[in-house]
Structure 1
Amino acid sequence: MGRWEPDARGRLGQAALELFAERGFDQTTAAEIAKRAGVTERTFFRHFADKREVLFSGSQMLHDFIVGAVTDAPPAVPPIEAVAEAVAAAGGHMQERRELVAQRQAVVEANPELRERELAKLSFLAAGLTDALRGRGVPDPAARLTAEAGMAVFRVAFETWIKDPVGNDLPQVVRASFAELRAVTSGQ
């Protein structure tokens, strides 16, 4: 290994995405990712428990951001609107990293085990939203229904955004998707 360079975690993430795209997730090892990033395998494991965590390491941050935004929304904001704005705000962060987010999603979509892990992470996020809504005084089952609906809208909006060749703004796609849900549920 050469001289120390900053941002080992970022370089590991980029190296992993490149290798996953070139060789596939299953054919790539942690040692290969470390080598491409210019660090030792030991350094890889200081940052990530395994190669899957390279793809899912931001899940807790996303969870905390969305749940925090719902928790901090003004009391007068209706529950579904609090969720919609929290998800749209999170979409703004993803928008800033569109290329990396798209690369990551391509890797996840190509691997059934990773798709399952993605669904588990979204379920964890829905549970966090449910708790945040309960904390705002929303009773069950409304809290859970609102959280689950919010996650369903997020998934549809995200998939629409990823597949969009024009590259529309993710927060706008999220807001438009929530508008569609409102229209369907109001009978308009």
Structure 2
Amino acid sequence: MGRWQPDARGRLERAALELYVERGFERTSVAEIAERAGLTERTFFRHYADKREVLFAGSSALQEVLVGAVAGAPEPVAPMEAVAAALEAAAGVLQERQEHARRRQAVIDANTELQERELIKLASLSTALADALRQRGVDDATASLSAEVGIAVFKIAFRRWVEQDQHGRRDRHMDLSQFIGASLAGLRAVAAGA
């Protein structure tokens, strides 16, 4: 094994996900992940604190996309419209990784500890969105409510997106952006009392 291997982080991510799908999260060790990736455990720990973090390493990048989109929304836009723009930006980043997202979600769904970690990630994203809205001058209650609702919309749209082809229906494949749009429309209908 050479001293330097290109794309160590990506190789570790792919190896971990493969092993988690094959064996389950609990039955996979860091040593096995490193070996599958052709790297050492030391290299693994240079990139990730523990084997959970391989599944959540993209959270900070997703947060940056969401916050950046809120900050870049036109000034007169309503808070929920700024959040909708952020969700669209996130969809653009995630769309090309649907198969990875589907496999990752299956691993998370099979493990209570990972489900808890996913909820913490979503709460962190909501907090970051609310803070970005406050930076735009939105009052605290409205910022918090808009962010929480936005993350709920994202969570529902994301789940529908990763599960859409699991039931053998590929005739009406939708991208994540379309699911977000449909979820936002559903939210508006619920809010209007329809």
Q: Is the contact between residue 156 and residue 177 of structure 1 (CA under 8 Å) also seen in structure 2?
A: yes
Q: Report the equivalent of 2:30.
A: 30
SS across alignment from 1:141: helix
Identity %: 60
Q: Deviation digits for residues 17-64 of structure 1, max 9, x if unmatched?
A: 000011100100111000000011111111111100100001111111
2:178 counterpart of 1:176: no
Q: Is the contact between residue 2 and residue 38 of structure 1 (CA under 8 Å) also seen in structure 2?
A: no
Q: In the alignment, residue 184 of structure 1 is paired with which amino acid?
A: V
Q: In the alignment, residue 105 of structure 1 is paired with which amino acid?
A: Q
Q: Report the equivalent of 1:64.
A: 64
Normalised by the length of structure 2, the TM-score is 0.93
- 2: CA distance between counterparts of 1:39 and 1:10? 12
Alignment map for 1:12-161 (pairs within 5 Å)? 12-161=12-161
- Please report how far the alpha carbon of residue 187 of structure 1 lies from its aligned counterpart in structure 2 after TM superposition: 2.4
- 1: CA distance between counterparts of 2:45 and 2:122? 25
- 1: CA distance between counterparts of 2:61 and 2:2? 32
- 1: CA distance between counterparts of 2:87 and 2:10? 24
Q: Which runs of 5+ in 1 are unaligned?
A: none
Q: Is the contact between residue 109 and residue 115 of structure 1 (CA under 8 Å) also seen in structure 2?
A: yes
- Please report how far the alpha carbon of residue 184 of structure 1 lies from its aligned counterpart in structure 2 after TM superposition: 1.2
Q: Deviation digits for residues 135-173 of structure 1, max 9, x if unmatched?
A: 111112111111100011111111111110134100111
- Please report how far the alpha carbon of residue 4 of structure 1 lies from its aligned counterpart in structure 2 after TM superposition: 4.2
SS across alignment from 1:97: helix
- Please report how far the alpha carbon of residue 179 of structure 1 lies from its aligned counterpart in structure 2 after TM superposition: 1.1
Greater mean alpha carbon deviation, residues 32-41 or residues 74-83: 74-83
- 1: CA distance between counterparts of 2:133 and 2:2? 50
Q: CA RMSD in A?
A: 1.2
Greater mean alpha carbon deviation, residues 108-117 or residues 92-101: 92-101
- 2: CA distance between counterparts of 1:144 and 1:5? 44
Q: In the alignment, residue 187 of structure 2 is paired with which amino acid?
A: L
SS across alignment from 1:27: coil
Greater mean alpha carbon deviation, residues 157-166 or residues 13-22: 157-166
Moved segments of 4+, more than 6 Å? none
Q: In the alignment, residue 86 of structure 2 is paired with which amino acid?
A: A
- 2: CA distance between counterparts of 1:59 and 1:13? 14
- 1: CA distance between counterparts of 2:2 and 2:130? 48
Q: In the alignment, residue 39 of structure 2 is paired with which amino acid?
A: V
SS across alignment from 1:129: helix
Greater mean alpha carbon deviation, residues 80-89 or residues 27-36: 80-89
